[in-house]
Amino acid sequence: MNRHQGSNDKGRVSGRGSNHIRKKSYARGNAPIKKASSATKKESNPDEIRLNKYIANSGICSRREADVHIATGLVTVNAKVVTQMGYKVKLGDDVRYDGAKINPEKKAYVLLNKPKGFATTTSEGKGRTVMSLVANATTSRIKPIGRLGRNSKGLLLFTNDEQIHDKFTNSKNGVARLFHLELDKNLKLEDLKKIQAGFKIDGKLVAVQEISYIEGATKREIGLKIKNTGNTIIRTIFDYLKYNIVSIDCVAIGHLTKKDIPRGHWKHLTEQELNTLKML
Protein backbone atom coordinates (compact mmCIF):
# COMPACT_ATOMS: atom_id res chain seq x y z
CA MET A 1 0.00 0.00 0.00
CA ASN A 2 1.49 3.31 -1.00
CA ARG A 3 1.30 6.47 0.97
CA HIS A 4 -1.37 8.07 -1.18
CA GLN A 5 -3.53 4.95 -1.20
CA GLY A 6 -3.36 4.69 2.61
CA SER A 7 -4.44 8.29 2.85
CA ASN A 8 -7.40 7.71 0.54
CA ASP A 9 -8.45 4.59 2.44
CA LYS A 10 -8.30 6.52 5.67
CA GLY A 11 -10.44 9.20 4.15
CA ARG A 12 -12.97 6.64 2.99
CA VAL A 13 -13.11 5.00 6.39
CA SER A 14 -13.53 8.37 8.04
CA GLY A 15 -16.37 9.21 5.64
CA ARG A 16 -18.19 5.90 6.23
CA GLY A 17 -17.82 6.28 10.00
CA SER A 18 -19.33 9.74 9.92
CA ASN A 19 -22.33 8.54 7.89
CA HIS A 20 -22.74 5.53 10.15
CA ILE A 21 -22.74 7.63 13.29
CA ARG A 22 -25.24 10.06 11.82
CA LYS A 23 -27.65 7.27 10.90
CA LYS A 24 -27.40 5.68 14.35
CA SER A 25 -27.98 9.07 15.95
CA TYR A 26 -31.19 9.56 13.91
CA ALA A 27 -32.32 6.04 14.79
CA ARG A 28 -32.09 6.92 18.47
CA GLY A 29 -34.47 9.80 17.94
CA ASN A 30 -31.87 12.57 18.00
CA ALA A 31 -32.66 13.90 14.56
CA PRO A 32 -33.42 17.65 14.47
CA ILE A 33 -37.07 18.27 15.36
CA LYS A 34 -38.95 20.82 13.34
CA LYS A 35 -40.79 23.38 15.45
CA ALA A 36 -44.53 23.28 14.89
CA SER A 37 -45.77 26.40 13.23
CA SER A 38 -48.08 28.61 15.27
CA ALA A 39 -50.73 28.13 12.60
CA THR A 40 -51.01 24.43 13.42
CA LYS A 41 -51.32 24.95 17.20
CA LYS A 42 -54.85 24.66 18.52
CA GLU A 43 -55.64 27.74 20.55
CA SER A 44 -57.67 27.27 23.73
CA ASN A 45 -60.76 29.38 24.24
CA PRO A 46 -60.56 31.26 27.58
CA ASP A 47 -64.36 31.34 27.71
CA GLU A 48 -64.58 27.53 27.72
CA ILE A 49 -63.87 25.07 30.51
CA ARG A 50 -63.92 21.26 30.73
CA LEU A 51 -67.19 20.02 32.13
CA ASN A 52 -65.56 17.98 34.91
CA LYS A 53 -63.56 21.02 36.04
CA TYR A 54 -66.71 23.17 35.92
CA ILE A 55 -68.45 20.70 38.24
CA ALA A 56 -65.43 20.41 40.55
CA ASN A 57 -65.13 24.20 40.80
CA SER A 58 -68.72 24.36 42.00
CA GLY A 59 -67.67 22.40 45.10
CA ILE A 60 -69.86 19.33 44.46
CA CYS A 61 -67.04 16.81 44.06
CA SER A 62 -63.56 16.19 42.64
CA ARG A 63 -62.86 16.14 38.89
CA ARG A 64 -62.45 12.35 38.95
CA GLU A 65 -65.82 11.94 40.68
CA ALA A 66 -67.32 14.42 38.21
CA ASP A 67 -66.26 12.13 35.34
CA VAL A 68 -68.25 9.31 36.95
CA HIS A 69 -71.33 11.51 37.32
CA ILE A 70 -71.02 12.63 33.69
CA ALA A 71 -70.68 9.04 32.45
CA THR A 72 -73.79 7.95 34.35
CA GLY A 73 -75.89 10.71 32.75
CA LEU A 74 -76.44 12.85 35.84
CA VAL A 75 -75.21 16.04 34.16
CA THR A 76 -77.05 18.18 31.62
CA VAL A 77 -75.82 21.17 29.63
CA ASN A 78 -78.51 23.49 28.27
CA ALA A 79 -81.16 20.81 29.00
CA LYS A 80 -79.26 18.03 27.16
CA VAL A 81 -77.60 15.05 28.87
CA VAL A 82 -73.84 15.03 28.24
CA THR A 83 -71.81 11.84 28.77
CA GLN A 84 -68.80 12.76 26.62
CA MET A 85 -65.46 12.92 28.47
CA GLY A 86 -63.54 16.14 27.85
CA TYR A 87 -66.69 18.03 26.86
CA LYS A 88 -66.24 21.81 27.16
CA VAL A 89 -68.84 24.31 28.30
CA LYS A 90 -69.04 28.10 28.25
CA LEU A 91 -69.45 30.04 31.48
CA GLY A 92 -72.90 31.20 30.38
CA ASP A 93 -74.23 27.65 29.79
CA ASP A 94 -76.95 26.17 31.99
CA VAL A 95 -75.18 23.25 33.68
CA ARG A 96 -77.15 21.05 36.07
CA TYR A 97 -76.19 18.14 38.28
CA ASP A 98 -79.08 15.83 39.16
CA GLY A 99 -81.49 18.60 38.13
CA ALA A 100 -79.96 21.35 40.29
CA LYS A 101 -78.21 24.27 38.59
CA ILE A 102 -74.54 24.62 39.47
CA ASN A 103 -72.12 27.53 39.28
CA PRO A 104 -68.31 27.20 38.99
CA GLU A 105 -67.66 30.59 40.57
CA LYS A 106 -66.80 31.18 44.19
CA LYS A 107 -69.98 31.75 46.19
CA ALA A 108 -70.41 35.37 47.23
CA TYR A 109 -72.93 37.00 49.59
CA VAL A 110 -73.04 40.80 49.63
CA LEU A 111 -75.43 42.91 51.72
CA LEU A 112 -76.05 46.47 50.45
CA ASN A 113 -77.71 49.38 52.24
CA LYS A 114 -79.33 50.85 49.14
CA PRO A 115 -79.83 54.62 48.85
CA LYS A 116 -82.61 56.28 46.85
CA GLY A 117 -82.18 56.86 43.13
CA PHE A 118 -80.82 53.47 42.09
CA ALA A 119 -82.81 50.91 40.10
CA THR A 120 -82.74 47.28 41.25
CA THR A 121 -81.75 45.67 37.96
CA THR A 122 -78.76 44.06 36.25
CA SER A 123 -79.74 45.52 32.88
CA GLU A 124 -77.66 48.27 31.33
CA GLY A 125 -79.29 51.41 29.97
CA LYS A 126 -81.49 51.89 33.06
CA GLY A 127 -79.55 54.83 34.45
CA ARG A 128 -78.00 54.36 37.88
CA THR A 129 -78.41 50.79 39.09
CA VAL A 130 -77.53 48.91 42.28
CA MET A 131 -74.91 46.93 40.34
CA SER A 132 -72.66 50.00 40.23
CA LEU A 133 -72.74 50.16 44.03
CA VAL A 134 -71.42 46.58 44.45
CA ALA A 135 -69.13 46.53 41.40
CA ASN A 136 -65.99 46.20 43.52
CA ALA A 137 -67.43 43.74 46.05
CA THR A 138 -66.49 40.52 44.21
CA THR A 139 -65.41 39.13 40.85
CA SER A 140 -68.27 36.58 41.01
CA ARG A 141 -71.36 37.38 38.97
CA ILE A 142 -73.80 38.25 41.73
CA LYS A 143 -77.35 39.50 41.28
CA PRO A 144 -79.88 41.05 43.66
CA ILE A 145 -82.54 38.92 45.33
CA GLY A 146 -85.91 40.59 44.98
CA ARG A 147 -86.44 44.25 44.24
CA LEU A 148 -86.51 47.64 45.88
CA GLY A 149 -88.02 50.49 43.85
CA ARG A 150 -85.74 53.24 42.57
CA ASN A 151 -86.95 55.57 45.32
CA SER A 152 -86.97 52.88 48.01
CA LYS A 153 -83.98 52.34 50.27
CA GLY A 154 -82.58 49.78 52.66
CA LEU A 155 -81.18 46.28 52.65
CA LEU A 156 -80.69 44.31 49.46
CA LEU A 157 -78.90 40.95 49.31
CA PHE A 158 -76.77 39.92 46.33
CA THR A 159 -75.47 36.41 45.61
CA ASN A 160 -74.64 33.86 42.91
CA ASP A 161 -75.86 31.03 45.16
CA GLU A 162 -78.95 29.57 43.48
CA GLN A 163 -80.04 27.71 46.63
CA ILE A 164 -80.13 30.93 48.65
CA HIS A 165 -81.94 32.66 45.79
CA ASP A 166 -84.56 29.91 45.71
CA LYS A 167 -84.97 30.13 49.50
CA PHE A 168 -85.94 33.80 49.21
CA THR A 169 -88.22 33.46 46.20
CA ASN A 170 -90.12 30.42 47.51
CA SER A 171 -93.63 31.77 48.10
CA LYS A 172 -94.31 29.38 51.01
CA ASN A 173 -90.98 29.37 52.82
CA GLY A 174 -89.46 32.70 51.84
CA VAL A 175 -87.32 34.79 54.16
CA ALA A 176 -89.17 37.60 55.99
CA ARG A 177 -88.20 41.24 55.41
CA LEU A 178 -89.01 44.09 57.76
CA PHE A 179 -89.90 47.51 56.33
CA HIS A 180 -90.16 50.94 57.91
CA LEU A 181 -92.85 52.88 56.04
CA GLU A 182 -93.81 56.52 56.18
CA LEU A 183 -97.29 57.46 54.91
CA ASP A 184 -98.71 60.82 53.89
CA LYS A 185 -101.18 60.67 56.78
CA ASN A 186 -101.88 58.70 59.96
CA LEU A 187 -102.87 55.06 59.42
CA LYS A 188 -106.32 54.50 60.91
CA LEU A 189 -106.51 51.74 63.50
CA GLU A 190 -109.31 50.03 61.55
CA ASP A 191 -107.11 49.94 58.45
CA LEU A 192 -104.19 48.58 60.44
CA LYS A 193 -106.41 45.78 61.77
CA LYS A 194 -107.71 45.11 58.26
CA ILE A 195 -104.18 44.67 56.93
CA GLN A 196 -103.31 42.54 59.96
CA ALA A 197 -106.23 40.18 59.32
CA GLY A 198 -105.67 39.98 55.57
CA PHE A 199 -108.17 40.96 52.90
CA LYS A 200 -108.88 40.43 49.21
CA ILE A 201 -108.07 42.78 46.35
CA ASP A 202 -109.58 41.76 42.98
CA GLY A 203 -110.34 38.34 44.44
CA LYS A 204 -106.77 37.72 45.64
CA LEU A 205 -105.89 37.46 49.31
CA VAL A 206 -103.39 40.07 50.45
CA ALA A 207 -101.70 39.18 53.73
CA VAL A 208 -98.67 40.28 55.71
CA GLN A 209 -96.86 38.59 58.59
CA GLU A 210 -96.91 41.53 60.96
CA ILE A 211 -97.87 45.21 61.01
CA SER A 212 -97.65 47.77 63.83
CA TYR A 213 -97.17 51.43 64.58
CA ILE A 214 -93.58 52.53 65.23
CA GLU A 215 -93.11 53.12 68.95
CA GLY A 216 -92.36 56.77 69.80
CA ALA A 217 -93.33 58.01 66.32
CA THR A 218 -96.52 59.36 64.75
CA LYS A 219 -99.08 56.96 63.32
CA ARG A 220 -97.80 57.86 59.87
CA GLU A 221 -94.83 55.56 60.50
CA ILE A 222 -95.48 51.83 60.22
CA GLY A 223 -93.47 48.65 60.68
CA LEU A 224 -94.44 45.93 58.19
CA LYS A 225 -93.05 42.38 57.84
CA ILE A 226 -93.62 40.33 54.67
CA LYS A 227 -92.05 37.33 52.93
CA ASN A 228 -92.61 38.68 49.43
CA THR A 229 -89.28 39.59 47.75
CA GLY A 230 -90.58 42.78 46.09
CA ASN A 231 -92.33 45.84 47.46
CA THR A 232 -95.19 45.82 44.94
CA ILE A 233 -97.51 44.22 47.50
CA ILE A 234 -96.84 47.12 49.89
CA ARG A 235 -97.87 49.72 47.34
CA THR A 236 -100.88 47.60 46.34
CA ILE A 237 -102.14 47.52 49.94
CA PHE A 238 -101.82 51.24 50.65
CA ASP A 239 -103.02 52.36 47.21
CA TYR A 240 -106.17 50.31 47.78
CA LEU A 241 -106.70 51.92 51.21
CA LYS A 242 -106.07 55.44 49.79
CA TYR A 243 -102.71 56.19 51.41
CA ASN A 244 -99.65 57.55 49.64
CA ILE A 245 -96.29 56.11 50.65
CA VAL A 246 -93.70 58.80 51.36
CA SER A 247 -90.78 56.40 51.94
CA ILE A 248 -89.99 52.68 52.05
CA ASP A 249 -86.94 51.45 53.97
CA CYS A 250 -86.04 47.75 54.29
CA VAL A 251 -84.45 47.60 57.74
CA ALA A 252 -84.01 43.82 58.13
CA ILE A 253 -83.80 40.64 56.04
CA GLY A 254 -84.36 37.69 58.34
CA HIS A 255 -81.72 38.21 61.04
CA LEU A 256 -79.63 40.60 58.89
CA THR A 257 -79.80 44.30 59.83
CA LYS A 258 -78.29 47.60 58.68
CA LYS A 259 -76.00 47.80 61.70
CA ASP A 260 -72.57 49.15 60.72
CA ILE A 261 -73.57 49.51 57.04
CA PRO A 262 -73.85 53.22 56.10
CA ARG A 263 -76.27 54.12 53.31
CA GLY A 264 -74.71 53.35 49.92
CA HIS A 265 -72.18 50.88 51.42
CA TRP A 266 -72.04 47.07 51.47
CA LYS A 267 -70.46 44.22 53.40
CA HIS A 268 -69.78 40.50 52.91
CA LEU A 269 -71.84 38.22 55.12
CA THR A 270 -69.89 36.60 57.93
CA GLU A 271 -69.77 32.81 58.14
CA GLN A 272 -72.13 32.91 61.11
CA GLU A 273 -74.62 35.16 59.29
CA LEU A 274 -74.53 32.86 56.27
CA ASN A 275 -75.05 29.71 58.34
CA THR A 276 -78.03 31.29 60.10
CA LEU A 277 -79.47 32.38 56.76
CA LYS A 278 -79.21 28.85 55.39
CA MET A 279 -81.06 27.47 58.44
CA LEU A 280 -83.98 29.89 58.15
pLDDT surpasses 70 at 19: no
Computed over its alpha carbons, how large is the radius of gyration of the chain? 34
pLDDT score recorded for residue 94: 92
pLDDT surpasses 90 at 104: no
Higher-scoring residue by pLDDT: 213, 206: 213
pLDDT score recorded for residue 61: 84
Q: What share of the chain is helix, strand, coil (3-state, %, to 5)?
A: 30, 25, 45
Structure confidence at residue 172 as a pLDDT band (50, 70, 90)? low
pLDDT surpasses 60 at 86: yes
pLDDT score recorded for residue 272: 94
pLDDT score recorded for residue 37: 45
The total of other beta-carbon atoms located within 10 Å of residue 53's CB is 14
- Angle between helices 271-279 and 162-169 in degrees, nearest 10: 50
Whole-structure pTM value: 0.69
Weakest-pLDDT range from 57-66, 139-148, 217-226, 238-247: 57-66
Higher-scoring residue by pLDDT: 269, 40: 269
The whole-number average pLDDT for the span 37-65 is 75
Q: Could you confirm whether domain 109-171+257-279 is CATH 3.30.70.580?
A: yes
Weakest-pLDDT range from 23-37, 61-75, 132-146: 23-37
pLDDT surpasses 90 at 1: no
pLDDT surpasses 50 at 16: no
CA separation, residue 163 to residues 75, 159, 251 (Å): 18, 10, 23
pLDDT surpasses 90 at 153: yes
pLDDT score recorded for residue 27: 44
- Which CATH architecture group holds 177-253? 2-Layer Sandwich (3.30)
pLDDT surpasses 70 at 32: no
Q: Where in the chain is the domain with CATH 3.30.70.580?
A: 109-171+257-279
Q: Where in the chain is the domain with CATH 3.10.290.10?
A: 48-101
pLDDT score recorded for residue 44: 65
Each residue of 233-255: pLDDT tens digit? 899 999 999 999 999 999 999 99
- Give the C-alpha separation, 266 to 258, whole Å: 10
Residues whose CB is less than 8 angstroms from the CB of residue 47 and which lie 6 or more positions away in sequence, other chains included: 90, 91
- Give the C-alpha separation, 77 to 80, whole Å: 5
Each residue of 174-184: pLDDT tens digit? 788 999 999 99
DSSP label of 44? P
Write down the mean pLDDT value for the chain. Answer: 84
Q: Where in the chain is the domain with CATH 3.30.2350.10?
A: 177-253
Q: Could you confirm whether domain 48-101 is CATH 3.10.290.10?
A: yes
